Every structure is written in structure tokens, then in C-alpha cells.
Structure 1
Amino acid sequence: MGAFTQPHARPVSLLMPAGIGIVVAMVLLASVGATTFRDGNVALLLGYLCVWVPLLVAIGVTAFGVGRAAGEQSGAVRRFLRLSIRPIDLVWGIAVGLLTRTAASLIEIGVYGSMGTTGVSFGETVYDLWWLFGALLAPVLLAPLVEELFFRGLVLRAVHSQVVTRGSSGWAGVIAVAVSGLTFALMHLVTIEVGNAQTIVVVGVSTLIFGLAAASISLATGRIGGAIIAHVTFNGLVVVPALLAF
């Protein structure tokens, strides 16, 4: 926890944009999920944008406040979000990604009786820009970056700072990791039908395990580089095998 330094902005000002961002993202995601689109590509794009835009706006608002308080922008924002990757983060990230994906596969086997039921599948393939976006760029690269910036760069830091300010520094790490992991899992459950208990268990537990693991390595290293690599690995181990099957 020594890698954490307190931000210049007040903790409450950090929590507010984070809370608003996640609520808006979940509401928009649920709305898009409940809407029928004639064009699947439009639904795909909106599904990502309704999450990314609120999260990025929350990050931007907070970063502006932190940068203004510090008297600089880029350096203060980068330090606040702990946006850096070192060679050791590749080791941590790949290891955590592999372990959490293995855990997710075991959960699938335990619930469904087989592995891969929640995996990605592709029908008739049209290799165009939409395919590149939906099959590779969005799930394997863009989503991990945006989500880790928010959940491990903003939420984890904001909650940790708030708990420390309230005088409970001994519990700050545990609470911050728990909140970061729980909100991450909750966002991935929004579009799942309430009656689909098996999928709720599989997706909920799998994303919670990953969220807790990613938050833990981010807190331990003081950087989100390892968490980003872990997320890329976690998602890639579902998407890439599905692509190679065609």
C-alpha cells in the first residue's frame, strides 16, 4: 500500500463522478440490452459506447479536478490513475489473467457441466471493419483499457482515499479492492435476464474473481499496468480460441 499516495482532490469529489459514471453506464447498458435493433452492428457499437462514454467522462472530470489542484494536467493525471506499465507487469498480468480464466472455466464446468458455454461464438464471418472492431479491438484491447482505467484507476483510488480520510487506513485496501471488484461484476450482470440463474452465477462469480484479482495487483504494485494486461489476457482467452475455430 506504500505505492499509494493521496490525491490532491478531496475524496468525496473523486467518489461522486465515479458513482455517477457507473450508474449512468448501467442504466444505458440495460436500455440498449432491452432494445431490438435491426442492424446487429449498431447494437454492438451502442453496447460498448453506452459503457465507455460515461466511464471516460467520469475519468475525465476527475482527472481535470486533480490536474487543476496539482497545477498541472498530464503528469498529475497519469500519477493519479497510476497509468504505467513495467516489464514485471507483463508477468503479473498474464499470470493473473490465466489463473482467473482457469477459475472461470472451472465455474462453467461446475454450473453447466461443460466448459465454454459463456464463450464467444461467431456465425457466418464477414471480415470487415465491423468484424475487426467486434471480434478483436473492442473486447480484447479497448474494453480492458477503458474498464481498468475506471475500476482500478478511479474507483479503487477514490474508495481507498475516502476510507483513509475517515481514519480507517488499516481497512482501506480491503474495502477498496472489494468495492472495485463488486462494481465491476455488477456492471457485467446488467444485461442478463433475472430468470437466468445459471448465467448470473457464472458471469457474476467469474467477473467478481477477476475484479478482485485485478484490484489486488493494482493496489500491490501501485500501477494499473498489470491489471490491464490481466484483463487483455482474461478476455483474449475467450475470444481468440473462438476465432481460431473458424
Structure 2
Amino acid sequence: MSSPLPGPANEPLRSRHRIDRTLRLANPAQTGPIEGITRPSWGLADAVLGLLAFMLVPLAGGVLIALLGGGELTPALVLLSLAVVWATILGVCLVVSKRRGYGSLAEDFGLRFKWVDLGIGLGCGIAARLLVLAVTSLLVSVWPPPDGQMPTTNISVFLTGGTVWLIINAFIGGVLIAPVLEELFFRGFILRAVQNTWWLRGSKHSVDHAPALAADNATIKIAVPRRSLKTATTAAVLISAVIFSLVHVGSVPDLYSTVVLLISIFVMGVVCGTLTVLTGRLGPAIVTHIFFNGIAMATALILNIG
């Protein structure tokens, strides 16, 4: 094993208590009881490639699906298009975890749950919806909708077909599956990649014996901070929320609705990102996302809006 990193700023963290106190915002996979901070081999370059795959694969699939449907987006084709997106997200995360990380979605990206996450998610999901309502109400008062028409949302695509399709696309797909995979990708993968790149730089030191989850004969890289962890974490939360909101831009038809949607998704992204770094796991963010989407779906069904 390598010798401790020199200097007070890079002093090894000798106890779990101290790790929790000083590096509580970092990915827990980097703060185990070893000499120094481990540096994951996946970073911003992997995030960029992952985002390209996230955008291009579903786009190509969407074109093919549109051709198959003759321009009409039936409930079955909606499910197929969603499945393409989900498969891309899961595939990217699995590949990065296997080739660049420990080979575990829980270890690399924090895909863990606790029972308390249900209560946290319920409260934060409702709070996020109320915050979005307050912000969009302020926007509407400052910038009234053109021609007095209220902005449209991206929910209507889920609310087509009969009861069976509503259950499959809206509630199983939009409320349950999408939050899990989107949080895994945007808060587990993208947020941590930005955080690591902003926060750490490589070091010549290494640990030759990898944890049980790492590949045999692997070497764990030790890193040293280049910036404050709080600064890097704040940047990561905001940047991941911006990226998350931008990928939803094409789902509404007009500029006003796009601005409202961007604000809504950004607010939710900040809430979920904050929960992720504060708890060190994705459970609270996933449950928050589930309730956030569920409230929107239920409201749209009750008011018959989309």
C-alpha cells in the first residue's frame, strides 16, 4: 500500500467518523477507510459520451418508430419509444460501471434505498411541486402567456389510449420506471462525473489492492482536491439540473411552454441533486421524482389537461 499523501490538505482520513464529517458530500465509493480519496476512472469525458448516446440513440429510434407508425404516435409506439430511452440509459450506466467503475450500480452511482426515503421523497416531492407552482405563477404574472393561453406540458404523450395504456405508459412508465432510470443517469452518473472533474485531480499515489467489488488485480487511483468539495458539489448539482432540463426541451411545441417546462424540470433537478449529495444515495431523489411525476399525472387526469 502506498504511503500517506503529504501535507495537511491531503492528510489521510483515518476514521469513518472523520470521513463522514469532511467528505459527506462526495460519492461514498470514494471515501472508504483507505489512505486518501479514491478517484473513479469515469469522469466528464464519459459523461459527454453518455449524453451523446442518450440523445442520439433515442432520436434514431424515434425516427424509426415514427416511420413504423406512419406519423401517428399510438400508445404502443409511445411505450416502444420510452423503452428505447430506458434501455439507452441503463446500458450507458452498466457499461460505465463495468468498464470504468466497480461493476456495481450501488457502489458507483449510489443506487441504494432506505425505508426513510419514502418519507423524505413524499415531503420533498410535494415541496418541489409547490415550489414549481410558486415560481411558474411568478413567471406568469411577470410574463403573461401569449394570447392568454396557458402553457402546455409534456404529459399528454403519456395520457393516450384506454385505461390499460394509461396504467402502463403513465403510471408504470412515467411515474415508476422513468424516475429510477433518470435519477440513476442524471444524479448518479452525470452529477458525480461533474463533481469529480471539478473537485479532484490525479495523483501518482495508488492503492494496489482493490475492494471486493473492483476487478481482480485492479489499482485504485488516489486523488487530491483541486477545488473545494462544496464548490464542486454546488456546480455539479446545478449543471446536472441544467442538462436534465435541456433534454426535455423538445417535448413541448412553443417557446413559452418550453420556458415554463425548463424552470419546472430545473427546480426538480436541483431538489433531487441536493438530496443525492446530502444522503449519499439515490433513494430519496428517486422517491421524490416518483411523487413529483405522480402529482403531475394525477392532476392532468383529474383536470383533463396535458
- TM above 0.5, one fold? yes
Question: Which of the numbers 81, 87, 94 marks the counterpart of 2:115?
Answer: 87
Aligned to 1:186: 246
C-alpha displacement at 1:236, in angstroms? 0.3
Are 1:96 and 2:118 counterparts? no
Matches within 5 A, 1:125-136: 126-128=162-164, 130-136=165-171
C-alpha displacement at 1:207, in angstroms? 0.4
Aligned to 2:47: 18
Are 1:65 and 2:123 counterparts? no
> How many Å separate the matches in 2 of 1:124 and 1:219?
36
> How many Å separate the matches in 2 of 1:115 and 1:147?
27
Which structure has more helix as a fraction of its residues? 1
> How many Å separate the matches in 1 of 2:112 and 2:272?
15
SS of the residue corresponding to residue 105 of structure 2 reads helix
8 Å contact from structure 2 (residues 57, 88) kept in 1: no
Are 1:149 and 2:184 counterparts? yes
SS of the residue corresponding to residue 190 of structure 1 reads helix
8 Å contact from structure 2 (residues 151, 260) kept in 1: no
Aligned to 1:206: 264
Decide which structure has the larger Cα Rg and report it: 2
Q: Structure 1 residues 39, 185: CA separation in 2 closer, same or farther (over 3 Å shift)?
A: closer
Q: Structure 1 residues 218, 59: CA separation in 2 closer, same or farther (over 3 Å shift)?
A: same
Q: Structure 1 residues 124, 64: CA separation in 2 closer, same or farther (over 3 Å shift)?
A: closer
Aligned to 2:255: 197
With 179-188 and 105-114 compared, the bigger mean Cα shift is at 105-114
SS of the residue corresponding to residue 100 of structure 1 reads helix
* Structure 1: gaps spanning 5 or more residues: none
> How many Å separate the matches in 2 of 1:162 and 1:108?
33
Identity of paired residues, percent? 28
Aligned to 2:82: 48
C-alpha displacement at 1:181, in angstroms? 0.6
SS of the residue corresponding to residue 118 of structure 1 reads coil
8 Å contact from structure 1 (residues 17, 58) kept in 2: no
The one-letter code of the counterpart of 2:162 is: V
Are 1:2 and 2:24 counterparts? yes
8 Å contact from structure 1 (residues 22, 54) kept in 2: no
Aligned to 2:199: 164
Aligned to 1:237: 295
Cα deviation 1:126-177 (Å, max 9, x = unaligned) = 233x332212111100000000011111111111112222311342111111
C-alpha displacement at 1:244, in angstroms? 4.7
Q: TM-score if structure 1 supplies the norm length?
A: 0.81
Relative contact order, higher structure (CA 8 A, sep 6+): 1
Q: Structure 1 residues 191, 242: CA separation in 2 closer, same or farther (over 3 Å shift)?
A: closer
The one-letter code of the counterpart of 1:127 is: T
> How many Å separate the matches in 2 of 1:62 and 1:87?
28
Root-mean-square deviation (Å):
2.9
Q: TM-score if structure 2 supplies the norm length?
A: 0.67
> How many Å separate the matches in 2 of 1:24 and 1:212?
23
The one-letter code of the counterpart of 1:179 is: I
The one-letter code of the counterpart of 1:14 is: G
Question: Which of the numbers 272, 285, 288 marks the counterpart of 1:227?
Answer: 285
> How many Å separate the matches in 2 of 1:114 and 1:88?
41
Q: Structure 1 residues 28, 141: CA separation in 2 closer, same or farther (over 3 Å shift)?
A: same
The one-letter code of the counterpart of 2:125 is: G
